[in-house]
Homo-oligomer: A and B are copies of this chain.
Amino acid sequence: MNFDGYLQLHRPEIEATLERLLPRPDGPAATVAEAMRYAVLAGGKRLRPLIVIAACEAAGGAANDALAPGAAIEMLHTYSLVHDDLPAMDDDDLRRGRPTLHKVFGDAVAVLAGDALHTLAFEILGRYPERDDRSSYRADAVVTLARAAGVAGMVGGQIADLEAEGRPPDGERLRWIHRHKTGALFSASAEIGALAAGAGLPAREALARFGAAVGLAFQIADDILDETSTAEALGKTPGKDMAVGKATYPALYGLDASRAAAREIIAEGVAGLREHGLISDPLDSLAEAAVARSR
């Protein structure tokens, strides 16, 4: 099955799960709940939940057990976008084709809605899958996501990214940033899929490595799009990295070499999974989709 087919198969359940797990916008905290829904239900690519589902199935689990964990990772990803767009951070006006959260609800609500999405991600991982034979896997999933999201992962990548602005380009630092800012969460998505399936350590580790490769390739493709695409196609403001003098793959290596690097990273990731007998059509097509992006 190709990527579009797999996405079409699971997208309705992914959207329904997100909708079900988000808080209702009523009571004294209604504004934050509304803002959370605005940010999450804006129609992202849902690549991370799809990876959770595909990894869970490849590890012998049922897609159904991966829906809530996938939603958790999408909540966490969305919180990071909301905080990243704040005036104190990247100061972005456009996200997923709409005004950013703080543009609509104000900075205070954006801080709090991001915080609440961050918390909600861990609440969901602590609760699902609800099966009794998964309680230790739930605690492991919490730790896996926390390591990927915190200072040793995504947040570490974000600060290194902020501090790299205006510095001379450095390929080693750029890869470190990409692996942490983007790769860590992709890696956690695949590993949490394995945990939802109740898989053992070898499958967890193999899928985590595959996820990391997909994440790095995805971020290189993002660098390329930042240089070649338009706001309309992207749904966010392009050219920002260049404008603030950030190192990117195309800036360091040129467009052709960047495309080749992304393809090579993906090929290695797929080969690694194949060695462990964990490759599947959906995972293969997800890896392909990460590099063949148009937005």
Contact = CB atoms under 8 A, between A and B. Distances in A.
Interface in A97-120: 107-112, 115-116, 118-120
Contacts of A231: none
A152 interface: yes
Contact of A173 (B28, B147, B160): B28
Interface residues of A, number: 55
Contact of A149 (B29, B111, B119, B156): B119
Interface stretch (A137-145, A197-205, A271-279): A137-145
A127 B111 contact: no
A111 B83 contact: yes
A268 interface: no
A152 to B, nearest CB: 7
A27 B152 CA distance: 10
Counting every copy of the chain, the complex holds 2
A162 interface: yes
Contacts of A112: 83, 89, 155, 158-159
B159 A31 contact: yes
Interface string A70-92: 00000000000001001111000
Nearest to A31: B159
Given A88-B107, A155-B112, A120 B162 contact: no
Contacts of A180: 28-29
Nearest to A143: B126
A135 interface: yes
A123 B143 contact: yes
A142 B155 CA distance: 20
Nearest to A80: B115
A150 interface: yes
Contacts of A122: 122, 142, 145-146
17 contacts: A23-B152, A28-B159, A28-B180, A29-B180, A83-B112, A112-B159, A115-B155, A116-B151, A116-B155, A119-B146, A119-B155, A120-B150, A122-B142, A123-B146, A127-B139, A135-B136, A138-B142
Interface of A: 23, 27-29, 31-33, 36, 83, 86-89, 107-112, 115-116, 118-120, 122-123, 125-127, 135-136, 138-140, 142-143, 145-147, 149-152, 155-160, 162-163, 173, 176-177, 180
